[in-house]
Amino acid sequence: MGVRLISLTWNAANCFGLSKFKGTPAVMSARLSNFGREAIGAMNDMGIIIDVSHLSDGGFMDVAKLSRKPFVASHSNCRSLSPHQRNMTDEMIKLLAEAGGVAGINFGPEFLNEDIQLKDSRIARMSEHIQHMKKVGGIECVGLGSDFDGISGNFELSDISKMGLLFDQLSKDGFTEDEIEKIAYKNALRVIKDSCK
């Protein structure tokens, strides 16, 4: 029917598995349901991209093990820079990269800052997450997720018209034009094409 991406969970448990939202350690470690495990293969077969951004850490590990195609974390950052449970550990970033997947950097302040209570979303901090993700997983696994429709705070980059400010910052921080193009769209486009084969 034209569905090309499914986020396995949002902020509550469902037939696929459990969400990280306010998750206890037991919830965070929970694996996919039996149906969820079966769904991974079916989604691969149908060319539907698997999105793990809200999924429990245990569920993420199941997807990394079971998926035969690249998967994505459509709007997730680096947990080593910001301890929000929705962010990915370095191990998760490596597994995502090894699968050929992409993580879209989330612009929400709680996903960027070391203090997740801060309300300021700064472009320099976005660049730090991008730099760390590149260091851990390589440039091929980095993309943009923004989450403009689901975040609040004080934004330097408040809408799509200001995206050039991020690209300028990345250039100042040593990213090449080719790397910036990969982050901007080429990595995500590759995953879309690879998933539809």
Give residue-wise pLDDT tens across range 140-161: 999 999 999 999 999 999 999 9
**Structure confidence at residue 1 as a pLDDT band (50, 70, 90):** low
Rounded to whole angstroms, what are the CA distances from 73 to 20, 162, 165? 13, 23, 23
Query: What's the whole-model pTM score?
Result: 0.95
Give residue-wise pLDDT tens across range 91-119: 999 999 999 999 999 999 999 999 999 99
Alpha-carbon distance of 155 to 163, in angstroms, equals: 12
**193 Rama class: left (phi>0) / alpha (psi -120 to 50) / beta:** alpha
**What's the pLDDT score for residue 21?**
80
**What's the pLDDT score for residue 20?**
86
